[in-house]
Structure formats: structure tokens, C-alpha cells
């Protein structure tokens, strides 16, 4: 389930598409130091880039922004989207409200619709996708500026994806609203039963934590006493779980690679049981068991899966 929230204030100004700022700037202010304390997010968006693309006798405009992804719904306007994660308390809900910002409106823009993509798209012509109902409606798309996904668990983190939409279009009138800044208030009130965190795994994963650090705007300070040791690459670089058929274990290059990993301080666990290697479900269950252990696996290697079937 996704929840959308509309901005509820008048436009506060306009700046040029060629503003000096070239990258996204997100500032976080917290009223406390822990997860669950109210947050205020101040976002300065990069300038919008407009590229005209002629298709089927029409001139469409593709709108992009530095440091932004795309909404990506086939047939609907291809617009920038900023995605970040919010760290949630173990059981609570989260609310986001737009409380301010600056934007301006430009005209005569027919937004480019998202097209389905195939690996061999040059060889297989695809039908043109365009949501005629949306393109014929006198309304802003998206109708909201902020969207929240339901909570998810990522090891010792309970997070919700926050999506911010800095561009809105009215394909019927040709108007495009470009936000140059936005102010958001985030509160953690009430209870959400979805993916509540009931326990803490014994240690975090250093590689995963490094990736999450760039995505979570209010990361939880770990309360695991093992983390200081676990995340020290000099003391414990991490465990490898290697799935390899017995025949592959005679390959000297593979053996040399695994020995080199051991010499660098990694723990290497080899799984060669034909009963486990025979199907993807068994492999997933084996990974889950290692992941939830006191020494969680940090790297998984599949040997011999040349077609990516597992």
C-alpha cells in the first residue's frame, strides 16, 4: 500500500531552469537524537533539464534532474523522482507533510510517456504507449508531491521508502510545475502492524550498512555490542558462502581464489550438497540460515550458474 500526500499551500516564487545549483541538496534537522524524533527535511532540487524528442509527428519533452530517478509507469509521463529511506521505530507509523517550498510553471510542454523496454528493442518494434485518459485530463500528474511505501525490514533496520516528486505536469494544458525547493515535516505517530521489528539480529553487516548510509536520512545508531568488532575489516572482514558442485571443487583457479579469500581474513563456507544446489528455494533457505546466524554471511558466490537461473 502506498500513501500519497498533496501540497496544501500557494506557489511561493519562481527561479530559472538554469539556476546555479547543479546537484540535489538534502538537509535534515531533528528535534532529538533518536529514531522516532520528529524530522524536518529541507530539499533544494537540481535544475530541471528539458530535452525535446519528436515521435509520430508530435514533439515530446523528456524532463530529468541530476541525482533523481524516474517515476517509471508505462504510458504515463516520465518524470523525476527522489527516493530515500526513513528509519522507523520498531512498531510505529510514519507521516510526511509538505509545509513549504518554491516552484514555477512553464507552458507548452508535452511530457514524454514511459515506454516498455526490451533487451532486443532494436529488433522487436514495440507499440507506442500513452495513457490517453491521463493525457486528456485537466489535472496535475502526479497529484501529490510526496509518497510513502509501507515499512520494510532490512536486517536491523525498519524503513519506509519516501518518494518526492519535484515535477508535476498537466498534459492537457501543456503546463509543467517545477519545484526548486521543498520543506517536509516527518513525524512517527501511531502504530503500523506491517513488518514490525520484534528482535535485533546479533550483528549488522558492514557492506550493507555502507550502502544504507547513503539512502537512510535518519539512520539508527546500532545498539549491538558486537558491531564495533564485527565491522572492523582488520578483525573480521566477513563470511563468504560459496555454492559449488563437487566437480567444481577440483578447479584449481577456484581453489586458489577461495584460499586467497581465507588469507585475507574471510571465513569461507562451501556448500556442495546436491540436494541444496538442485533448486533455488533450497539455496535461498541456506542463505537465510547463514544470514540470521551469530556470524551473518556478507557475500554469496554461485559457481556454475552460467545462465542466472538461480
pLDDT in the model for residue 223: 46
Q: What are the per-10-residue average pLDDT scores of the chain (310 residues)? A: 45 38 85 82 96 95 94 93 95 96 97 77 75 97 97 90 98 98 96 87 67 84 48 62 91 92 87 85 90 84 72
Domain-by-domain residue ranges, the chain? 2-201, 237-302
pLDDT of residue 42: 97
For residue 59, the model assigns a pLDDT of 97
pLDDT at 274 (0 to 100) = 82
2-201: CATH, from 2.30.130.10, 2.40.110.10, 3.50.50.60, 2.60.40.3800: 2.60.40.3800
Q: What is the pTM of this model?
A: 0.68
Please, what is the Cα angle at 126 between 125 and 129, to 5 degrees? Answer: 150
Amino acid at each position: 500500500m502506498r500513501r500519497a500526500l498533496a501540497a496544501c499551500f500557494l506557489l511561493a516564487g519562481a527561479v530559472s531552469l538554469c539556476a546555479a545549483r547543479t546537484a540535489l541538496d538534502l538537509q535534515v534537522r531533528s528535534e532529538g537524537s533518536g529514531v522516532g524524533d520528529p524530522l524536518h527535511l529541507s530539499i533544494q532540487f537540481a535544475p530541471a533539464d528539458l530535452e525535446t524528442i519528436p515521435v509520430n509527428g508530435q514533439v515530446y519533452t523528456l524532463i530529468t534532474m541530476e541525482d533523481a530517478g524516474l517515476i517509471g509507469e508505462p504510458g504515463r509521463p516520465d518524470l523525476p523522482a527522489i527516493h530515500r529511506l526513513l528509519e522507523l521505530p520498531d512498531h510505529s507509523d510514519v507521516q510526511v507533510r509538505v509545509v513549504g517550498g518554491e516552484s514555477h510553471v512553464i507552458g507548452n510542454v508535452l511530457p514524454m510517456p514511459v515506454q516498455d523496454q526490451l533487451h532486443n528493442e532494436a529488433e522487436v518494434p514495440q507499440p507506442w504507449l500513452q495513457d490517453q485518459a491521463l493525457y486528456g485530463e485537466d489535472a496535475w500528474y502526479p497529484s501529490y508531491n510526496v509518497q510513502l511505501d509501507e515499512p520494510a525490514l532490512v536486517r536491523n533496520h525498519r524503513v519506509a521508502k519516501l518518494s518526492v516528486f519535484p515535477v508535476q505536469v498537466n498534459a492537457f494544458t501543456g503546463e509543467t510545475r517545477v519545484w526548486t525547493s521543498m520543506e517536509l515535516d516527518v513525524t512517527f505517530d501511531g502504530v503500523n502492524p506491517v513488518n514490525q521489528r520484534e528482535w535485533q539480529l546479533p550483528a549488522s553487516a558492514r557492506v550493507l550498512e555502507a550502502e544504507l548510509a547513503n539512502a537512510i536520512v535518519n539512520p539508527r545508531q546500532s545498539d549491538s555490542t558486537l558491531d564495533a568488532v564485527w565491522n572492523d575489516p582488520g578483525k573480521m572482514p566477513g563470511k563468504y558462502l560459496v555454492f559449488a558442485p563437487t566437480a567444481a571443487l577440483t578447479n584449481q583457479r577456484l581453489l586458489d581464489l577461495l584460499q586467497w579469500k581465507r588469507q585475507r581474513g574471510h571465513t569461507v563456507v562451501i556448500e556442495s550438497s546436491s540436494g541444496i544446489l538442485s533448486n533455488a528455494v533450497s539455496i535461498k533457505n541456506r542463505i537465510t540460515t547463514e544470514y540470521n546466524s551469530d556470524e551473518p554471511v556478507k557475500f554469496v558466490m554461485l559457481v556454475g550458474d552460467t545462465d542466472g537461473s538461480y
